[in-house]
């Protein structure tokens, strides 16, 4: 109803109710924006806030999409012709919003928008240029005990956002599945986060029934004994560990985006509680 309609002018009570409704919608949006901002500090950029506000229910939809991984079972029962059809030519723009925490302290965040993935070349998203390094105020591990502790202390969130279809998905295992030292070139600590996605039965003998999203983080020691992030990247492997191409990967990602998310309600309440 138009605020200037004669009905409202003559009916203050209706007008008040309408104002209250507008107010509660706005404060709900602010609340969910704040919850998203505190859960994923990387989303605090004008571009991402704009994309999130275009989601069907704004920041609340973004939160629900991103707080659990797509449900691998209901993906297959989803009627893909009624939800978003999988069309690899349409979407080739994806935003990665990544946050790294060390013992709950935020130590790194980065947003990268990727427009082209190449049809045949392996799918890969690199967050940092080769010459970029980002310092974290964390001592470089000097012994095996410190190495072991790293695996418990570093958590990573990688949210992939499709700004055209207005969906998002969580790709990270949260804690690393591998932490290892590498010696060339120079000493590095390498962490790998992973998540296995059931993309549905393909053709007989298909190698992509299950695929693995892998996130690699490389740390190097600087002169002052603290760790620097020198590389953060995402790739996708088929069941035999082969790197998947850009085209194959986009088709899988679209399935994941369209997939139903499991038990979002409880996570929403938890998100609110953690924020408030």
The minimum distance between CB 99 and ligand NAG, in angstroms, equals 8
Quick one: which of 35, 36, 51, 67 contacts ligand NAG (CB under 6 A)?
67
Residue 222, SS3 per DSSP: coil
Question: Does residue 173 belong to the site contacting ligand NAG (CB under 6 A)?
Answer: yes
DSSP assignments along 83-119, one per residue: S----TTT---EEEEEEEEETTEEEEEEEEEE----S
Please identify, using beta-carbon distances, which residue of 103 and 121 lies nearer to ligand NAG: 103
The minimum distance between CB 146 and ligand NAG, in angstroms, equals 24
CA atoms of 12 and 29, how far apart (whole Å): 26
Q: Which of residues 133-172 bind ligand NAG (CB under 6 A)?
A: 157, 170, 172
The minimum distance between CB 158 and ligand NAG, in angstroms, equals 9
For 10, 118, 225, the CA distances from 115, given in Å and listed in that order, are 53, 10, 37
The minimum distance between CB 266 and ligand NAG, in angstroms, equals 11
DSSP assignments along 31-59, one per residue: HHHHHHHHH-GGG-SHHHHHHHHTSTTTH
CA atoms of 174 and 101, how far apart (whole Å): 10
**Among all chains, which residue has been given the structure tokens 């990602």?**
253
Please identify, using beta-carbon distances, which residue of 170 and 230 lies nearer to ligand NAG: 170
- Please give the sequence-ordered ranges of beta strands (E in DSSP) within the chain, or none if there are none: 94-102, 105-114, 124-126, 134-139, 154-162, 167-170, 178-182, 188-198, 210-221, 226-237
Draw the binding track, 35-54, toward ligand NAG (x: CB under 6 A; -: no contact): --x-x----x----------
Please identify, using beta-carbon distances, which residue of 85 and 202 lies nearer to ligand NAG: 85
Quick one: which of 101, 174, 198, 275 contacts ligand NAG (CB under 6 A)?
174
Question: Does residue 82 belong to the site contacting ligand NAG (CB under 6 A)?
Answer: yes
The minimum distance between CB 79 and ligand NAG, in angstroms, equals 4
The minimum distance between CB 249 and ligand NAG, in angstroms, equals 19
Residues that bind ligand NAG (CB under 6 A): 34, 37, 39, 44, 67, 69, 79, 81-82, 157, 170, 172-174
């Amino acid at each position: 109803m138009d605020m200037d309609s004669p009905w409202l002018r003559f009916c203050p009570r209706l007008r008040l109710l309408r104002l209250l409704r507008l107010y509660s919608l706005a404060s709900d949006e602010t609340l969910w924006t704040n919850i998203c901002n505190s859960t994923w500090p990387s989303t605090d950029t004008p571009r991402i806030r704009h994309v999130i506000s275009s989601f069907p229910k704004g920041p609340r939809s973004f939160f629900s999409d991103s707080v659990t991984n797509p449900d691998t079972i209901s993906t297959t029962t989803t009627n893909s012709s009624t939800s978003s059809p999988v069309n690899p030519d349409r979407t080739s723009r994806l935003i990665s919003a990544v946050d790294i925490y060390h013992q709950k302290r935020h130590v790194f965040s980065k947003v990268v928008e990727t427009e082209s993935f190449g049809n045949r070349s392996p799918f890969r998203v690199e967050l940092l240029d080769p010459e970029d390094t980002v310092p974290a105020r964390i001592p470089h591990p000097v012994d095996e005990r410190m190495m072991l502790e790293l695996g418990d202390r570093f958590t990573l969130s990688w949210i992939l956002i499709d700004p055209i279809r207005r969906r998002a998905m969580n790709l990270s295992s949260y804690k690393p599945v591998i932490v290892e030292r590498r010696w060339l070139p120079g000493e590095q600590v390498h962490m790998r986060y992973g998540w296995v996605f059931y993309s549905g039965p393909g053709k007989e003998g298909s190698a992509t029934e299950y695929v693995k999203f892998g996130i690699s983080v490389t740390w190097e020691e600087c002169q002052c004994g603290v760790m620097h992030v020198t590389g953060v990247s995402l790739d996708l492997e088929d069941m035999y560990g082969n790197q998947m191409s850009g085209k194959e990967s986009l088709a899988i990602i679209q399935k994941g985006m369209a997939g139903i998310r499991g038990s979002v309600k409880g996570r929403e309440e938890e998100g609110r509680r953690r924020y408030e």
